[in-house]
Structure 1
Amino acid sequence: MRVIICGAGQVGYGIAEQLSREDNEVSVIDTSAELISAITETLDVRGYVGHGSHPDVLAKAGADQADMIIAVTLYDEINIVACEVAHALFSVPTKIARIRDQSYLAPEYGDLFSRENMSIDVTISPEIEVGKMVLRRIAFPGATDVVRFADDNVSMLAIECMEDCPVVNTPLQQLSQLFPDLVATVVGVFRNGHLKSVDSSEQLRTGDLAYVICQRQHARRTLGLFGHVEQEAHKIVIAGGGNIGQYVARSIEQLQPKTRVKIIEFNRDKAIAASENLNSTIVLHGSVLDQKILHQADIQDADLIVTLTNNDQTNILGAVMAKQMGCKSNLALLNASSFHDAAKSLALDAYINPRAVTISRVLQHVRKGRIRSVYAVQRGNGEIIEAEALETSPLVGQALREIDLPEGIRIGAVYRDKVVLRPDGNMKIKAKDRVILFASADSVRDVEQLFRVSLQYF
C-alpha cells in the first residue's frame, strides 16, 4: 500500500513506524526539515519538506499513485485542506484527517464531515478518543488497559498478575472448567519484555500482563478472578482543564452524578472556560505542582488524580505528588514513549498513551478484509482485532479444533446475533459472526487473509 502521512510529529512518526514495518510504501510531509531528517534517518520512509496541503508537495510525494492520505498535523485546517486537495487533484481513494478543535465536532454540525459535504472518509479526534479511554480506566481501576469491541458488548482487559493473583500457575483450560459460565478468554501475555499469544495449556506467572477478551458484563468478575478488587473512584481530581479534561468531567457529570470532580487548570482563560462549560465540577485556577492548590482540591481525601496537561513531566510529578499527599491512586497521560517503560519506577499506578489510540484508529482503515476495529498493544507488537466472517472465510463451517490457525492468533470471543460467545473446540464460526481475536505483529497478514472477500465474488 502507498501511504502519504502529513505531519511528522509524535503521532505521524508512530503511524509511519507501524506502516513502514509492514512493508508499505510510506511518504511523510512536514514543514520542519529537522523532523523530516529525523524520521528518514530512523525509518524506511521517504520524507518531503513542505506543506501537506500544497498540490506541488503532494505531487512530489506521489499523491497520484497513493492509496491513502493520513493528515495528522497540529492544524485542523491543514489536515482538512490536504484531504480535499488529495481528492480533487489526485483522486486518492482513502482520506483520514485528525480534527482536534471540538467546535468542528459539535453535535449541531454533525453532517459537516459527511461525504456529501467533504471529501474526508474518516475523522479522528484524539481528545475524544483519549477521553473515552480515561473514562474506561476510571470505570475499571484494576485494568491497565480497557478497550471495547462489538458495539461495546465485548471488552479487552489488560490485567497485571500480582503476587497475590489467584490464577497464576494454573493451566488456562482449568480456569474454563472452574468457571464455565464466565465468558472470558486469555488471548495473549506480555512477559519479560515479549508479547505472545497463548493457548489453553499456558500458565500465567507473577508479573505477567495478561490480555483478556470478555463479555462486557463479565469485566468486573474477570478482574476479581485475577485478584483485582479495586473500588471505583468517587472523588476525582483532574489536572488539566482543556478539551480532554472537560470531556471527562462532563461525561462523569452525566453518567455518574454522585461522583465529585474537581479540576486544576494553570491557564486562567481555560479555567474560566471550564467553569462556564461544566455544571457541578469545581474548577481551581493554579498548578497541580503547587501543594497549596492540591490541598484546596482536598487531594488527601481523593480516590484518584488524573493528570491530563500537555506536559508529560507535569503529569508525572503532579500524579506522584498527589499520591504522596494521600490520594489513593493516580493515572497520567504520557505522550513520550520514553516514559512508558519507567512508569512503575516513577510511582505511577497507570498511564495512558494517546499516540496508541490514534494509531489504532488508523490501522482499522489500513487493514484489508472485513476488519471492523483494531487496537494495537505493546507498541504495535500485537493487535486486538474485530473482524467479520464471510461465507468464503476458511474459518466458517468447521469446528475450531479442526482448523489449523496460523501461529500467533488466538480467538477470544464471537459476537453472534447480539450474543457474546466464548469459543471452544466444538464451536463453528458462521457467516456474519464478528470474531474478536489477538494477533501478533507477524500474524496480522494471516488475519487479513482469513477475513478477505474471495475474488470469485467480484
Structure 2
Amino acid sequence: MKIIICGAGQVGFGIAERLSQEYNDVSVIDTSATLISAITELLDVRGYVGHGAHPDVLARAGADQADMIIAVTLHDEINMVACQVAHSLFNVPTKIARIRSQSYLQAHYSDLFSRDHMPIDVTISPEVEVGRMVLRRISFPGATDIVRFGDGNIAMLAVECHDDCPVVNTPLQQLSQLFPDLSATVTGIYRHDKIIIPHSSDQILVGDMVYVVCEQDQIRRTLALFGHEEQEARRIVIAGGGNIGFFVAKSLEELQPKTKVKIIENDRERAIAVSDQLHNVIVLQGSALDQNLMIQADVPDAHLMVSLTNNDQTNILASVIAKQLGCDSNLALLNNPSFHDVTKSLGIDAYINPRAVTISRVLQHVRKGRIRSVYAVQKGAAEVVEAEALATSPLVGTPFRDLELPEGIRIGAVYRGESFLRPTGDMKIKTGDRVILFAAASAVRHVEQLFRVSIQYF
C-alpha cells in the first residue's frame, strides 16, 4: 500500500516504523526538518518538509496515488484539514486522523466526520484508548496486558508465570481436561525474547509470558488459574491531571465510587480545572516527584500509583519513589520504547505503551480481508486478530482437527452471534463467525489470505 503519514513525532514515527517494516510505500510529512531528517535516516521511508494540510505538500508526497492518509500531528485541526484536502483534491480512499479534543468526539456530534461533512473514515483518540487500557489494568491487576474483542465479550490476557503458577510444566491439552468448563485457550507464549505458537503438547514454564484468549466473565478465574489473585486497588494516586489522568479519574469516580482517588498535577490552572470537574477526587497541585507532597497524598498507604504525565522520566521516577514510600504497586505510562526493557530492574511493576495502542488501531485498517480488530504485542512480534469468516474462506465448513492452518497461527476463540465458543476438534467455522486468533508476525500475511474477500463473494 502507498501510505502518507502527516506528523513525524513519536506516534508518527512508530506507525511509519511498523508500516515500512511490512514493505508498504510510506511517505512522511512534517514541518520540522530535524524530525524528517531523523526518520528518513532510520527508516525506509520518504520524507517531506512542509505543512501536512497544504495541497502542494500532499501532492509532492504522492497523494494522488495514495491508498491511505494517516494524520497524527499534534493539532486536531491540521489532522482534520489534511484528511479533507486528501479527500477533496486527491480522492484518497482511507483517511485516519488523531483527534485529541473530546469536544469533537461527543456522541451528539458524531455526524461531523461523515462523508458529507468532514470525510474522516477513522478517528483515533490515543488519550481515550490509553485511558481505557489503564482502567482495565486497574480492574484486573494480575494481567500484564488486557484487550477486548467480540464486542467486549472476549478478552486477550497477557499473564506472567511465576514460581507459584499452578499450571507450569503441564501440557496444554491437560489443562483442557482438568478445566473442561473454563472458556480459555492459551494462544501464544513469549519465552527468552521469542514468540512461540504453542501446540497442545507444549508446556508452560516459569518466566513465560502467556497470551490467553478467554470469555469476559472468566477473566478472574483464568488469572487465578495462572497464580494471579491480586486484589483490585481501592486507594489510587494518579500523577498527572492531563487528558488521560482526568479520563481515568472521572471514570473511576463514576464506575467505582468506593475507590479513593487522588491526583497530583503540577500546573496550577490545570489542577483547578480538573478539581472543578471532579466531585469525589482530591486534587493536589505540585510536582509528582516531591516526596512531601506524595506523603500528603497518602502514597505510602496507597494500593496503586498510576503515573500518567507527558514525561517518561517523571513517570519512572514517580513510580520508583512511590514504591520506596510504601505504595503496594505502580503503573507507568512510557512512550519511549527504550525504557520498556529496563522497567523490571527499576522497580516498575507494569507499564503502558500508548504508541502500541495507536499503531494497533491503524493496523486494523491496513490489514487486508475482513479484519475487525488488531492488537500488536511484544513490539510487533505477534498480533491478536479478530476477523470475520466469509463464505469463501478456506476455514469455513472444515472441522478444526482437519484444518491445515499455516505455521505461526493459533485460534483462541470463535464468536458466533453473541456466544463465545472454545475451539474443539469437532467444531466447524460458519459463515459470519468472528475468529479471534494469535499470529506471529511472519504469519500475518496468511491471516489476510484466510479472511480475504474473494471475487466469488460478489
The bucket for the TM-score relative to the shorter chain is over 0.9
Give the corresponding residue for 1:153. 153
1:239 match: 239
Q: Which amino acid aligns with 2:102?
A: Q
| In structure 2, distance between residues paired with 1:136 and 1:375 | 15
Are 2:224 and 1:224 equivalent residues in the alignment? yes
Q: Which range moves more in the overlay, 193-202 or 154-163?
A: 193-202
Residue 386 of structure 1 corresponds to: 386
Q: Deviations over 1:154-186 (max 9, x none)?
A: 000000011111111110110011000001011
Q: TM-score if structure 2 supplies the norm length?
A: 0.99
Is 1:54–2:72 an aligned residue pair?
Answer: no
Written as runs of structure 1 = structure 2, the 5 A alignment for 1:68-147 is 68-147=68-147
Q: Contact 1:299/1:327 (CA < 8 Å) preserved in 2?
A: yes
1:414 to 1:457, Cα distance in 2 relative to 1, 3 A: closer
Measured in 2, the distance between the counterparts of 1:150 and 1:246 equals: 28
1:37 aligns with 2:37: yes
SS, match of residue 114 in structure 2:
coil
* AA matched with 2:285: H
Instruction: Provide TM-score, normalisation by structure 1.
Output: 0.99
C-alpha separation between the residues in 1 aligned to 2:457 and 2:207?
48
Shift of 1:23: 1.1
Identity %: 72
Give the match's secondary structure for 1:430.
coil
In 2, the alpha carbon distance for the partners of 1:258 and 1:112 equals 37
- 5 Å-filtered alignment, 1:365-376, equals 365-376=365-376
What residue number does 1:440 align with? 440
2:262 pairs with 1:262: yes
Which residue in 1 is equivalent to 2:214? 214
CA deviation vs aligned residue, 1:27-48 (integer Å, no higher than 9, x gap): 1111111111111112111111
DSSP-derived class of the 1:104 partner:
coil
How do 1:165-184 residues align onto structure 2 when only pairs under 5 Å count?
A: 165-184=165-184
Q: Is the 8 A contact 2:142 2:159 kept in 1?
A: yes
The two structures, once aligned, show a CA RMSD in angstroms of 0.9
* Alpha-carbon displacement from aligned partner over 1:397-420 (angstroms, at most 9, x marks no partner): 000110110001000011112110
Match of 1:304 in 2: 304
Tell me the SS of whatever aligns to 1:411: strand
- Determine the structure 2 residue equivalent to 1:421: 421
CA contact (8 A) 1:102 1:243 kept: no
Task: Classify the secondary structure of the residue corresponding to 2:159.
Answer: strand
Whether the 8 Å CA contact 2:381–2:440 is kept in 1: the answer is yes
**Structure 1 residues 190-209: aligned runs within 5 Å:** 190-209=190-209
**d(CA) in 2 for partners of 1:457, 1:145:** 37
Q: Does 1:10 align with 2:10?
A: yes
SS of the residue corresponding to residue 111 of structure 1 reads helix
Q: Which residue identity is paired with 2:311? A: N
How much does 1:195 deviate?
1.4
CA distance in structure 2 between the aligned counterparts of 1:248 and 1:107, rounded to whole angstroms: 19
Aligned-partner residue type, residue 279 of structure 1: H
Q: What amino acid is aligned across from residue 330 of structure 2 in structure 1? A: N
SS where residue 380 of structure 1 aligns?
coil
Secondary structure (helix, strand or coil) at the match of 2:345 reads coil
Q: Is the CA contact 2:71–2:79 (under 8 Å) kept in the aligned structure 1?
A: yes
Equivalent position of 2:276 in the other structure? 276
Which secondary structure state, in structure 2, belongs to the residue aligned with residue 47 of structure 1?
strand
Whether contact under 8 Å (2:392, 2:457) holds in the other structure is no
Deviations 1:64-114 (A, max 9, x none): 000000000111111111100000100000000001122222334232223
For the residue of structure 2 that corresponds to 1:58, the secondary structure is: helix
Runs of 4+, deviation exceeding 4 Å = none
Deviation at 1:455, TM superposition (A): 1.2
**Would you say the 8 A contact 1:80–1:97 is kept in 2?**
yes
Tell me, what secondary structure is at the counterpart of 2:95?
Answer: strand
The answer on whether the counterparts of 2:391 and 2:457 sit within 8 Å (CA) in structure 1 is no
Aligned-partner residue type, residue 188 of structure 1: G
Q: CA deviation at 1:213?
A: 0.5
Secondary structure of 2:258's counterpart equals: coil
1:4 shift after superposition: 0.4
Partner secondary structure for residue 123 of structure 2: strand
SS at 1:105's partner residue? Answer: coil
**Cα distance in 1, alignment partners of residues 85 and 372 from structure 2:** 28
Alignment of 1:297-376 (within 5 A): 297-376=297-376
Deviation at 1:457, TM superposition (A): 2.9
- Structure 2 counterpart of 1:249: 249
Q: Which amino acid aligns with 1:224?
A: A
How far apart, CA to CA, are the structure 1 residues paired with 2:160 and 2:435?
25
Measured in 1, the distance between the counterparts of 2:129 and 2:12 equals 17
Secondary structure in 1 matching 2:111: coil
CA–CA distance in 1 between the matches of 2:199 and 2:431? 24
Specify every segment of 5 or more residues in structure 2 that has no aligned partner in the other structure, as ranges: none
- Please tell me whether the aligned partners of residues 156 and 211 of structure 1 are also in contact (alpha carbons under 8 angstroms): yes
Q: Distance in 1 between matches of 2:16 and 2:391?
A: 34
User: Matched residue of 1:48: which SS?
Assistant: strand
CA distance in 1, matches of 2:208, 2:241: 35
SS of the counterpart of 2:224? helix
Residue in structure 2 matched with residue 186 of structure 1 by the alignment: 186
Maintained 8 Å contact 1:236/1:303:
yes
Cα deviation, residue 126, structure 1: 0.5
Partner residue, 1:287: 287
Query: CA shift at 1:426, angstroms?
Result: 1.4
- CA drift at 1:291: 1.0
Secondary structure at the residue paired with 2:372? strand
SS in 1 for 2:292: helix
Q: CA deviation at 1:198?
A: 1.2
Structure 1 stretches lacking a partner, 5+ long: none
Residue deviations 1:186-216 (CA, integer Å, cap 9, x gap): 1011111111211211111111100110001
Counterpart CA distance in 2 for 1:19 and 1:434 is 25
C-alpha contact (below 8 Å) 1:233/1:303 kept by paired residues: yes
For 1:299 and 1:337, locate their aligned partners in 2 and report how far apart those are by CA, in whole Å: 27
